[in-house]
Amino acid sequence: MRQDDREALHELVDRSSERSAYLRFFTGGRATAHAYMDRITGPGYAGHALVGTFRDQLVAVAEYIPSGDGSADLAILLDDAVHGLGLGTLMLEHVAVDAAAHGVRKLVADVLAENRTMSNVLRDLGMDSTQEYADGNVRVVIDARVTPRLRAEIEARDHAAERASLNRVLVPRSVAVIGASRDPSSVGHTALRNLIAGGFDGPVYPINPSADEIAGLIAYPSVLDVPGPVDLAIVAVPAQHVLRVTSDCAQAGVAGLIVLTSGFAEAGQPGAEVEIVRVCRGAGIRLIGPNCLGVVNSHARLNASFLPITPTEGRVGLVSQSGAVAAALLERLDVSMFVSVGNKADVSGNDLLEYWEDDANTDVIALYLESFGNPRKFARIAGRVGRKKPILLVKSGRTGAGDRAVRSHTAAAATPDVAVDALVRASGVIRLDSVHELIDTARLLSTQPLPAGRRVAIVGNSGGPEAMAADACEAAGLSVPELPAGLIKARGNAAVGNPVDLTADAAADELGAAITAVVGSPEIDAVLVVYTPPFGSGLEETRKAIAAAATGSAKPVLACVVGHDGVIEGHVPSYAFPEQAIKALAQAVRYAEWRARPLPAHEEPPAADVESAKAIVRDRLREEPDGGWLSPAEATRLLRCYGVDVAEAVPVHDADAAAEAAARVGLPAVLKVTGPVHKSDVGGVRLGLRTAEDARDAYQDMSARIGAEMTGAIVQRMLPAGVEIIVGGVNYPTFGPLVMVGMGGVTADLLADRAFRVPPLDAATARELIDELRCAPLLHGYRGSAPADVEALAWQVARISRLLEDLPQVSELDLNPVIVTPDGATTVDVRIRVAPAQAPPSPLLRRLR
């Protein structure tokens, strides 16, 4: 709310009914309400107020006024015209999150007993609350803490709102084609013809001010002249006219736009695109594009695109940011829906994940993306949707970390592409390297059940391709177990172990019987049929036998018909080469294992002194506005704000100070240079200094060799030997924080044994991350050594995870090494770089992007 909202707030009061004013202000008439609006927009107002607009008109105001004792009074007024739309709940969510961020512990709302609607809204908000009845009023006291229940309630409401906003766009009742033309080669004419040819059964309105009829349909000069309501408008006019057309659609009450026109952000004209989005936002219009191919909904017989082909109906929901890639996919993949998002000015892959989560016609979701608009939101949505339906992703643009690679071990390793991998892996998304792999995997997942394990039976008529399939299984981590004796009935020259080679002259019915037998075996989780045509009964008869044997199977059955890609009889995926089939099957196995894991139990994040930590970062950025490395003392103080165990380090700037510090911290001691990032590379680490004199000599020698780059040193007591681990982190402006764990010490880069996760990480998730390392056996007691304290290391990782989330200004962080012994995990060297950064928006605040 701003002071210049005063007039609009008075107009809101005037539009409110006497009943609404009474329920909000507990008095009849509007005089009290008007006086209150003057007060809250005055200079002495002590509260926090939020206003809501609808079609550019102020229609709501919600506020909380702190009382000074950790509580705050809460109130809201809605325009009668927007009751029942969920706006009040949305406003209260924002107000409650803001109040909690400002230290409010309790929100108190006084509600008339007869105002059951507001009492229910407050009760269902998702926060713990109590109600007290007195003198005809209800006092609702809300615990302002953010809880898992609140997160779940907000997520559920966001999901419902997202689906509702897209329903009239993806399943419209009527469509207008703005820019429809008589020219058969034009985009507008193609889009109109595709709608007609696709059999869309709602009204279709060509819009062209210079034509009375197009393609046998009455044409209209403007969308404002159409005689009936328009759910969806396809826009194919020149770029300079799109904004005017958008304004007309807003006035006409259109629900969605598909802007096929190019010439916006992709052509260096972002301003025009931003203005189009602004108009759409104000009118409640969802926008697909601009610069896109359009939308197809096979089950609704909607082809709202200018595709040169008609996609085949299937069970895959497909999103593509590239038109060329989309065209290639649609020639080979059957889809339930296809959305070309183009520039993603509004509707993105995140929105479509929300929509397809509950779509009965979509079993698999496939994404080809060139960029993420909101990666953290993608991870949250995909992690939920993936529990119901597999999500396949091909992400282009695998790039390195550029100049960041010279700064720290973690920044060198945590490239943007590694960040994508960590993001999607944590969410159960199946990331694929090519469009071809996406097609292969989508065919399997959209036609077959998920495998219950990794045991594969290979049945076929040719030993060579079957051996190749077995080798591919081993390479992919799948097993090819020996089959039970007597399971396969075959002629004497057949091999009936596993693979099952029925020989080249095996008939189709023999192959079908073998498939049926292995499908029924409890020793097998999936079946690959390998057939080399034209042997046996020939291609067609054999394909039919494979399909018949696979029908009704609770286990996945897939085929390698050598040289032939496709789907057999609509339900058995078939691959030209055995390696293709096994790659797709391995992806399905890994996804099934992820989905079968129980959801992690909620753990409270590690305790932290966040305010002191923020002060340390703030002070450093005040001195270095462009950012820089924290001093060892600052870095240690920052880590201790989060409970990270850091070895004592005494900063020194000359040889005598080094000798004194060594005697004070305890001998033997360690001397480490400050200045260079990689100390060992320049001889900047000396271990096992047994006397103070050794420390003095080491400092003098180090200073002579390193020179001006040596800005000082630190002295520490030498710790007992243990497993050296690196714990690191980076914060990307787009992706947010990323945590790394790996083999530490001087071999950190050489061995490249590391694993990554996207925060938040609790101790349990941190333990999983640690166990992914090849060096993990060293921590668990390797060849008779004592097990290290993995639990202490896991908590260190969890604490670093929270630090990176709380402090987006921490751009790079290396704890290398963390020495893990049977008695704990201690950080002995730390590098932290800070840089200016904006805090990401709270995931609790519902927003379209």
Q: Indicate if the pLDDT at residue 651 is higher than 80.
A: yes
| 100 conformational bin, left if phi > 0, alpha if psi -120 to 50, beta if neither | alpha
- What's the confidence (pLDDT) of residue 136? 81
Q: Indicate if the pLDDT at residue 157 is higher than 50.
A: yes
CA 201: distance to chain centroid?
Answer: 36
Q: Indicate if the pLDDT at residue 353 is higher than 90.
A: yes
Omega before 209 within 30 of 0, i.e. cis? no
Q: CA–CA separation, 497 vs 728, rounded Å?
A: 49
Q: CA–CA separation, 292 vs 287, rounded Å?
A: 11
- What's the confidence (pLDDT) of residue 408? 61
- Cβ neighbours of 251 (radius 10 Å): 12
For the ranges 469-478, 597-606, 802-811, 826-835, the lowest mean pLDDT is seen at: 597-606
For the ranges 286-290, 470-474, 562-566, the lowest mean pLDDT is seen at: 562-566
List, in order, residues 6 or more apart from 23 with CB less than 8 Å away: 112, 114, 115, 118
What's the number of CA atoms in the CB half-sphere (13 Å) around residue 485?
A: 0
Counted residue by residue, the chain has a size of 849
- What's the confidence (pLDDT) of residue 179? 97
Parallel, antiparallel, or unpaired for β 650-652 and 712-717?
Answer: antiparallel
pLDDT tens string 136-145 = 889 999 999 8
For the ranges 1-10, 560-569, 730-739, 786-795, the lowest mean pLDDT is seen at: 730-739
List, in order, residues 6 or more apart from 730 with CB less than 8 Å away: 404, 410, 411, 414, 419, 737, 738, 740, 811, 812, 813
pLDDT tens string 54-71 = 888 999 999 999 998 999
Question: Average pLDDT in the 615-626 region?
Answer: 96
Q: Indicate if the pLDDT at residue 414 is higher than 80.
A: no
Question: Average pLDDT in the 772-791 region?
Answer: 92
Q: Tell me the one-letter amino acid at 239.
A: A
**DSSP letters of 460-505?**
ES-HHHHHHHHHHHHHTT-B-PPPPTTSS---TT-B-SSSEE--TT
Tokens of 722: 């243990």
The model's confidence at residue 332, banded by pLDDT at 50, 70 and 90, is very high
Question: Average pLDDT in the 335-355 region?
Answer: 96
- What's the confidence (pLDDT) of residue 403? 38
CA 420: distance to chain centroid?
Answer: 9
Q: Indicate if the pLDDT at residue 680 is higher than 50.
A: yes
The model's confidence at residue 305, banded by pLDDT at 50, 70 and 90, is very high
> Percent of the chain, pLDDT > 90?
73
Q: Indicate if the pLDDT at residue 79 is higher than 80.
A: yes
pTM: 0.89
pLDDT tens string 101-139 = 889 999 999 999 899 889 889 988 899 999 888 878 899
Q: Indicate if the pLDDT at residue 271 is higher than 50.
A: yes
The model's confidence at residue 527, banded by pLDDT at 50, 70 and 90, is very high
- What's the confidence (pLDDT) of residue 606? 86
Question: Average pLDDT in the 217-225 region?
Answer: 97
List, in order, residues 6 or more apart from 767 with CB less than 8 Å away: 790, 791, 794
Say if CB 642 and CB 799 are below 8 A apart: yes
Domains of the chain (ranges; CATH) run: 3-146 (3.40.630.30), 165-444 (3.40.50.720), 448-596 (3.40.50.261), 611-646+721-849 (3.30.470.20), 648-718 (3.30.1490.20)
| 242 conformational bin, left if phi > 0, alpha if psi -120 to 50, beta if neither | alpha
pLDDT tens string 378-413 = 999 999 999 999 999 998 876 544 334 335 666 676
Q: CA–CA separation, 30 vs 48, rounded Å?
A: 23
- What's the confidence (pLDDT) of residue 776? 94
- What's the confidence (pLDDT) of residue 825? 95
Q: CA–CA separation, 376 vs 808, rounded Å?
A: 14
Average pLDDT, the chain: 92
Give the 3-state secondary structure percentages of the chain, helix then strand then coil, rounded to 5.
40, 25, 35
The model's confidence at residue 415, banded by pLDDT at 50, 70 and 90, is confident
Give the CA distances from residue 329 to residues 294, 305, 393, 442, in Å, rounded to whole numbers and listed in that order: 15, 15, 13, 11
- What's the confidence (pLDDT) of residue 405? 37
Give the CA distances from residue 53 to residues 59, 88, 250, 283, 285, in Å, rounded to whole numbers and listed in that order: 5, 12, 15, 10, 14
